[in-house]
A = this chain, B = another copy of it.
Amino acid sequence: MNREGHGNFVGAVKPQSMHFDQPLSFRSGTMLREYDLAYETYGTLNADGSNAVLVCHALNASHHVAGWYENEPDNIGWWDNMIGPGKPLDTRHFFVIGVNNLGGCFGSTGPATLNPETGKPYGSSFPVVTVQDWVEAQTRLADRLGIKRFAAVMGGSLGAMQALQWTISHPERVANAVVVAAAPKLSAQNIAFNEVARQAITTDPDFHGGDFYEHGVVPKRGLRLARMIGHITYLSDDAMMEKFGRTLRSGSINYHFDVDFEVESYLRHQGDKFAEYFDANTYLLITRALDYFDPARDSGDNLTSAMAAATARFLVVSFTSDWRFSPERSREIVKALLDNRRHVSYAEVDAPHGHDAFLLEDPRYHALVRSFFEQVHARL
């Protein structure tokens, strides 16, 4: 990608950090006395603070949503194709915020952070976080940035769940919500995949019950397996077949348990890379937040009742080949909104890439988001 000579890139950005010393209580009953949130912003907040868009991240992403870092020009934000001047979420019109969730490992307070009370990393003592907790932490960031009401809250996958939760917990603070590749709760199979990933991490002898920091080791074997399992669920069977087929790395079968097929090489590489930079406790926390997300639970398992609080206008997008959160799951959300006579646009995009499609630059998908934000802008 040639980043020079293009007008539609956010360009070089700087991550910021905000300290909060008002204690935050978690759904689990525990609390943090103080914490930091790492975040980035793109574009300019207008005078009445009405053009802010919060972009929530999914499992392994961060606050680095768009642009790149001056000293790391290849470290491009995970949704850079979506956000920038002239892009679907146009930073000439909107003030966009990315925030690393609590429990994360990219700058916000998380399990690897030193607990000021003990001087040691939180490790296993870090609170189990929920999507609701993240939203509460995000409201405080919004308060400090002077944002009373977001023009939109937006996310894909787990990020979309946060957008949904915003519309339920703080309907008065969300004018619009963009909910991409989501589900109103995990299925048993979704939980099962998360559980195997967690078991891979917690049974790694280097995990030490979550307090591996003090032992100077990292449960890389477990993290690597967790990432490999996750990766299979992000791609469609067809996309994998298209990308790798049964291609043999050396051209012939070698009758061993080392890499023979390209897909094996790819998975090992993805796993190795991930284990180098991701925190094992963060992986546990984030998959658990996914498992526990279930807004209908407090409304007698009735999603329509749960969504009754929401007043935002919605764009809901799913992808035909997504078998992790299939279109059927998005239609459950759409139905609950329609039951409540809410304003909702729904699109099922015919894309071959599986769950990962939400991160890719599909023209039809991007045109939908662009059109939605043009209307949001027109109503500002």
A2 to chain B, nearest CB (A): 32
A258 to chain B, nearest CB (A): 9
Are B229 and A188 interface neighbours, CB within 8 A? no
Chain A residues packing against B (C-beta within 8 Å)? 27-30, 128, 185-189, 191-193, 195-196, 198-200, 202-205, 221, 224-225, 228-229, 231-232, 235, 237, 240-241, 243-246, 253, 255-257, 260-261, 263-264, 267-268, 271, 284, 288, 291-292, 294, 323
Are A188 and B263 interface neighbours, CB within 8 A? yes
Residues of B within 8 A of A185 (CB): 246
Residues of B within 8 A of A291 (CB): 260-261
Are A189 and B246 interface neighbours, CB within 8 A? no
Are B200 and A225 interface neighbours, CB within 8 A? yes
What separation, in Å, do the CA atoms of A93 and B65 have in the docked complex? 69
Are B128 and A255 interface neighbours, CB within 8 A? yes
Are A27 and B187 interface neighbours, CB within 8 A? no
A328 to chain B, nearest CB (A): 10
Are A128 and B256 interface neighbours, CB within 8 A? yes
**A-side interface mostly:** helix
Of A29, A198, A200, which is in contact with the most chain B CB atoms at under 10 Å from its CB?
Answer: A200
Are A261 and B188 interface neighbours, CB within 8 A? yes
Residues of B within 8 A of A235 (CB): 189
Residues of B within 8 A of A260 (CB): 291
A43 to chain B, nearest CB (A): 37
A106 to chain B, nearest CB (A): 21
The 8 Å CB contact of A193, one of B232, B245, B255, B256, is B232
| Contact A263 to B195, CB < 8 A, known contacts A246-B188, A255-B28 | yes
Are A240 and B189 interface neighbours, CB within 8 A? yes
Q: What are 9 A-B interface contacts by the 8 Å CB criterion? A: A188-B241, A192-B231, A195-B261, A196-B229, A199-B228, A199-B267, A203-B221, A225-B225, A246-B294
What separation, in Å, do the CA atoms of A199 and B257 have in the docked complex? 9
Residues of B within 8 A of A323 (CB): 323
What separation, in Å, do the CA atoms of A29 and B255 have in the docked complex? 9
Are B192 and A263 interface neighbours, CB within 8 A? yes
**Known pairs A195-B264, A257-B288. 7 more at Cβ < 8 A?**
A128-B257, A192-B228, A192-B267, A195-B261, A199-B228, A203-B221, A246-B294
Are A191 and B225 interface neighbours, CB within 8 A? no
Residues of B within 8 A of A28 (CB): 255
A355 to chain B, nearest CB (A): 13
The 8 Å CB contact of A257, one of B243, B264, B284, is B284
What separation, in Å, do the CA atoms of A188 and B261 have in the docked complex? 9
What separation, in Å, do the CA atoms of A91 and B179 have in the docked complex? 58
What separation, in Å, do the CA atoms of A261 and B284 have in the docked complex? 15
Are B196 and A257 interface neighbours, CB within 8 A? no
Residues of B within 8 A of A128 (CB): 255-257
Residue of B nearest to A265 (CB): B195
List the 7 closest A-B pairs by CB distance, nearest first. Answer: A28-B255, A188-B240, A128-B255, A189-B237, A188-B244, A188-B263, A195-B264
Are B189 and A203 interface neighbours, CB within 8 A? no
| Contact A246 to B191, CB < 8 A, known contacts A229-B196, A255-B28 | yes
Residues of B within 8 A of A200 (CB): 200, 225
Residues of B within 8 A of A241 (CB): 187-189
| Contact A228 to B196, CB < 8 A, known contacts A191-B246, A203-B221 | yes
Residue of B nearest to A130 (CB): B255
Are A257 and B202 interface neighbours, CB within 8 A? yes
What separation, in Å, do the CA atoms of A112 and B189 have in the docked complex? 34
Are B267 and A195 interface neighbours, CB within 8 A? yes
